[in-house]
Structure 1
Amino acid sequence: MSRERADPAADIEIDREEDLEDLALGEDYALNPQFVSMVVDAADRGDSDRLRELLSALHPADVADLIGFLAADDRKEILPHLDPEALAEILSELDYEIREEILEAVSPEVLARALGELDSDDAADVVEDLEVHKRAEVLAALPEGDRAAIESALSYGEETAGRLMQREVVAAPQFWTVGQAIDHFRREADDLPELFFDVYVVDPAYKPVGAVPISTLLRARRDVPLAQIMESLSEIPVDMDQEEVAYIFDKYHLISAPVVEPGGRLVGQITVDDIVGVIHEESREDILALAGVSDSGRHGGVWDMVASRLPWLLLNTLTAALAVSVIQAFEAQIAQVVTLAVLMPIVASLGGNGATQTLTVAVRALASRELSAVNAVRTVSREMLVGLVNGGVLAVVTGVAIYLVFGDLRLCAAFGAAIIINMFVAAVAGALVPLALERMGRDPAVSSAVFVTFVTDFTGFFAFLGIAALILL
């Protein structure tokens, strides 16, 4: 299918009216569709000069977004026009699926040059996505020091501090003065990390004993010993889970932290820019898990998406069948009062919505360590009270509406009582189910919704039909 192409003359007119950088991004920092069309048109025409001009107007992170919007053929067209330094930053920003495609298309030599521009943690993240044969070729083309750093990072488990850290750190012995440290850093400027926030003060065994923020170092007199101005620090074990690391950074408001191996020796550092990515990733996983899906990305395959969602739908089918068994048990009563069949889905639906509200709050509180055994009783009690109040208000509102439609006070009473019961149970289940799953070592974000939905459906149907059978028949 052919695509409509932008008019090249219109491109020139646009360039005269405003700068390309202003045209590329909207006020929300998202790429403008018009700019993307200009890139697609230049790629279709094979206009190398125009492509280089357009790409040079973008930050590497914006180029990564642009690549995500392009078709595979257009992505291949723009690759040769990216210099290794820009390619390095772009690779670290790309979605997993697209990065695999780009890595296959780029030669090992170009990849090696690009990886040389990255910190060891970002470089290891890219190398991990390479096929085994290409990984060996790229590593062989790297300088020995870079290769050793990447191989060391890959030796640690996924989603651990060791994989997240960068090995480049700035350290100084505790007997140095401020002047000695500054003079040394200036002499060895080429070997310093591109970005760092703290100087780690180490003992003779290279174990961190404190940290001197750069702002403190620059304010101090040259003759002041580092040991005199250093601050306490939070050490991160190399095998700590990245979610635990993010929690420590958030709790203690850290900008950077040293990573130590089991013996306490300094092996790297983690900086706040790495943690921002972890927090974003973990939050996205929790949100998706609440819906029982995984992130297949913008370019995920249909079968991958089906495989991630179908098992939970099948489990939901089983729990729904159990809930429906309640309806079957009251089949005779429903046949006598057909109105019950009209109203009972409302009871289950309101309970499900109330449970979802409580469940979302509980899962988020567990993830941020705001909910534990210490305050579980207080939290559940509060949710129970909220459920009762909400149920009472909904019972009155819906009861009035049912009376106006059906004119039956007994039906209103049955419906209102069922609403109060189900909202109460929904609040209890929404709070207790995630807590119980957490206690059992299961991820509450993944499986809570299915069980809570079953509880509210079962309770809603049983309460409404049971009370109606007692009052109406």
Structure 2
Amino acid sequence: MSQKSETAQKKSDPDIDTKNRDWRDDEVEGANLVTPEEIEDFALKDDYALNPQYISLVIDAADRGDGMRLRDLLDALHPADVADLLGFLSEDYREEVIPWIPGDALPDILPELDDDIREEIIETLHTQDIAEVLQELESDDATAVFEDLEEHQQKAVLAAMPEAEREQFVTSLTFEEETAGRLMQREVMAAPSFWNVGQTIDHMRENGEDLPELFFDVYVIDPSHRPVGALPVSLLMRSKRDALLSSLMEPVTEITVDQDQEEVAYIFEKYHLISAPVIDQSGRLVGQITVDDIVNIIQEESQEDMLALAGVSDSGRDASTFGIAKSRFWWLLINLGTAVLASGVISNFEGAIGQLVALAVLNPIVASMGGNAGTQTLTVAVRALATRELNAANLLRTVWRELAAGVLNGIAFAIVMGAVTALWMSVFQHDMGTDLALKLGLIIGLAMIINLFAASLAGILIPLALDRMGYDPAASATVFVTTVTDCVGFFSFLGLAVVILHLHT
């Protein structure tokens, strides 16, 4: 690829190093010869990740202002890959690329984008264009895009829509965020129980425009529009035309509009659902949720829990340095407070440490091992709570199991660390007698058992207590567990040293 122009070199790109590329100019020039028919295979690696050389082709075409080349490069990609591409580009390059996204591809691309990038694209569209794009989307995707609009944009877009579509969006926004009502797709295929297979198939063919683009089940309803069963499309197509739906339908798992999306994901996972009907407070069928939505929810929730355990948020690929630092500041401040508390414990034993410097060398080992053990137990507990594998029925058994595991590991590492400490101090500390070295080995061994027991206890009970109080254990348990293991580790080791070695504090 040819070098960027002086202006283009000023563009900021956090993911693609445009100044120090790993391939030679002639290699990129060869890549530029890729024909439109070959772009799709060239763009993706074997693991379906975007080829860095493809991204550089896009950057090069943007630098040269070659809009037709950009159109060819974008046309060949799946909408999800276009969304991924925009995430890799800097804001300056997105401004160059976005105008060349085919208009008919926008309805498929918008739901795949990160919120910030979606906002950039929407800002380039006229109100009427936004309204038309939303009307082409499935209702669940349209709601997800619509709710991210600014309030004034929402009002303008609603005013540009036909009355029927406008009422649907207004109704969707009456449901709480992250509930089934927001997540559901309003288009469903429903049929009365007295219909037969032939009538159902004929209805589907004649009214295809009003049906979901993709669906898996036909919901069988009673005269009050309440779902009484479901019929997989695969079974429908295999059955005789005169067979009644009531004789073929299977029991259905219903989702209420106010159920939390995490609970919905749990139901899908537990019962291996492909789709499920959503009902309102009166039990009437108002929509459906399909497994593709649930996959996204499971990924979002798992990512949130993983990030929360570390006290960080999903900054995104386009986040600013200041924004990232700000989002992590308060959590680090809390950790600073707990570190000061642990230091306060150590300060109470200044005299003992002054008399035997070896205590300062060995002290962090106990706290560190406790912290690691506590994190292990905490992770298991948070996962068990999230997957609902931990409840009142197995609570005591789980707690005792974790405590026993903590004690066993404590004993094992007490033996190992006690022997290592005694050998280390007697061999390398020439001014230390064998008797003192053995006592230090005993002290660190006992402290190890105590702290790993405390780590297991805190790691299981703290997330349980936070969950019972209505707090997210993934987001707030870590700081409490590490505080316990640090304070208990320091206190147990130094306290035992004072008692056994008769030191002054």
SS at match of 2:194: coil
Q: Are 1:64 and 2:93 an aligned pair?
A: no
What does residue 11 of structure 1 align with? 31
Q: Is the 8 A contact 1:97 1:300 kept in 2?
A: no
Corresponding residue to 2:404 among 370, 381, 385: 385
Residue number among 437, 446, 466 corresponding to 2:475 in the alignment = 446
Q: Structure 2: state its 5+ residue gaps.
A: 1-6, 10-17, 20-24, 427-436
SS at match of 1:199: strand
Report the CA distance between 1:276 and its aligned residue.
0.5
> Is 1:114 paired with 2:139?
no
1:288-344 deviations in Å (ceiling 9; x for gaps):
111122222222344443343222222222222222222111111111111000100
Q: Does 1:411 align with 2:440?
A: yes
Deviations 1:7-47 (A, max 9, x none): 7743344449x921111011111111110000011111111
Partner of residue 258 from structure 1, selected from 245, 258, 277 = 277
Q: Which amino acid in structure 1 is aligned with residue 263 of structure 2?
A: E
**What do the CA deviations read for 1:263-300 (whole angstroms, capped 9, x no partner)?**
11111000000111111111111111111222222223
> Given that residues 84 and 113 in structure 1 are in contact (C-alpha distance below 8 angstroms), is that contact kept between their aligned partners in structure 2?
no
Equivalent of residue 426 in structure 1, options 451, 455, 459: 455
Partner Cα distance (1:321, 1:243) in 2: 37
- Equivalence for 2:490: 461
Structure 2 residue 491 is matched with structure 1 residue 471: no
Give the Cα–Cα distance (whole angstroms) in 2 for the partners of residues 239 and 453 of structure 1: 36
Whether contact under 8 Å (1:292, 1:446) holds in the other structure is yes
The Cα shift of 1:76 comes to 1.9
Distance 2:127 2:74 in 1: 23
Q: Distance in 2 between matches of 1:115 and 1:85?
A: 12
| Displacement of 1:99 | 1.4
Using the TM superposition, give the Cα deviation of residue 2 of structure 1 relative to its aligned residue in structure 2, in angstroms: 4.2
Secondary structure at the residue paired with 2:136?
coil
Contact 1:171 1:199 in 2 (8 A): yes
**Equivalent-residue separation in structure 2 for 1:349 and 1:285 (angstroms):** 26
Structure 2 distance, partners of 1:185, 1:13, is 47
Amino acid corresponding to residue 230 of structure 1 in structure 2: M
- The answer as to whether partners of 2:229 and 2:251 remain within 8 angstroms in 1 is yes
User: Does 2:361 correspond to 1:342?
Assistant: yes
- State how far apart, in whole Å, the 1-side matches of 2:86 and 2:440 are: 60
In the superposition, the TM-score normalised over structure 1's length comes to: 0.96
Equivalent residue letter for 2:441: C
Q: 1:52 aligns with which of 58, 67, 71?
A: 71
Counterpart position of 1:167: 186
Find the aligned partners of 1:327 and 1:136 in 2 and give their Cα distance. 60
Q: How far off is 1:211 after superposition?
A: 0.6
Residue identity in the other structure for 1:39: V
Query: CA–CA distance in 1 between the matches of 2:285 and 2:418?
Result: 67
1:272 paired to 2:259? no
For 1:363 and 1:33, the matched residues in 2 are separated by: 37
What secondary structure sits across from 1:355 in the alignment?
A: helix
Question: Deviations 1:143-180 (Å, cap 9, x if unpaired)?
Answer: 43333322221221100100000100000011111111
Equivalent pair of 1:121/1:150 in contact (CA under 8 Å) = no
What is the CA distance between 1:239 and its match in structure 2?
Answer: 0.8
Code of the residue aligned with 1:271 in structure 2: it is: T
Query: 2:310 matched to 1:281?
Result: no
Q: Deviations over 1:206-226 (max 9, x none)?
A: 111111111111111111110
Structure 1: how far apart are the matches of 2:337 and 2:459? 20
Task: Say which SS state the counterpart of residue 347 (structure 1) adopts.
Answer: helix
The 8 Å contact of residues 304 and 313 in structure 2, kept in 1 or not, is answered as: yes
The code of the aligned residue for 1:455 comes to V
**Which residue in 1 is equivalent to 2:116?**
97
2:172 to 147, 153, 161: 153
CA contact (8 A) 2:455 2:484 kept: yes
**The one of 375, 396, 400 aligned to 2:394:** 375
Q: How much does 1:116 deviate?
A: 2.4
- Specify the SS of the correspondent of 2:450: helix
Give the SS at the match of 1:19: helix
Alignment of 1:126-275 (within 5 A): 126-275=145-294
- Runs (5+) with no aligned partner, structure 1: none
How many residues align? The count is: 472
Does the 8 Å contact 2:75/2:102 carry over to 1? no
2:71/2:102 contact within 8 Å kept: no
CA distance in 2, matches of 1:29, 1:427: 41
Question: Do the aligned partners of 1:414 and 1:467 also contact (CA within 8 Å) in 2?
Answer: yes
Checking the alignment, whether the CA contact within 8 Å between 1:236 and 1:259 is kept in structure 2 is yes
Q: Percent identity?
A: 59
Between 328-337 and 350-359, the greater mean CA deviation after superposition: 328-337
**Contact 1:120/1:146, CA 8 A, preserved across alignment:** no
The 2-side partners of 1:204 and 1:260 are apart by 15
SS of residue matched to 1:175: coil
* Residue in 1 that maps onto 2:431: none
Q: CA–CA distance in 2 between the matches of 1:331 and 1:301?
A: 43
Are the aligned partners of 1:24 and 1:35 in contact in 2 as well (CA < 8 Å)? yes
Contact 1:121/1:153, CA 8 A, preserved across alignment = no
What amino acid is the match of 1:320?
A
User: Aligned pair 1:31/2:50, yes or no?
Assistant: yes
Moved more, 47-56 or 133-142: 133-142
User: Which of 437, 461, 469 is the matching residue for 2:466?
Assistant: 437
Distance, in Å, in 2 between the alignment partners of 1:52 and 1:112 is 24
Aligned equivalents of 1:52 and 1:404: distance in 2?
Answer: 71
TM-score, with normalisation over the residues of structure 2?
0.90
The answer to whether the Cα contact below 8 Å between 2:277 and 2:288 also exists between their aligned partners in 1 is yes
Larger mean Cα displacement after TM superposition, 334-343 or 80-89: 80-89
Specify the code of the residue in structure 1 equivalent to 2:469. Answer: M
Cα pair 2:8 2:63 within 8 Å, conserved: no
CA distance in structure 2 between the aligned counterparts of 1:150 and 1:83, rounded to whole angstroms: 26
Q: Conserved in 1, the CA contact under 8 Å of 2:90 and 2:318?
A: no
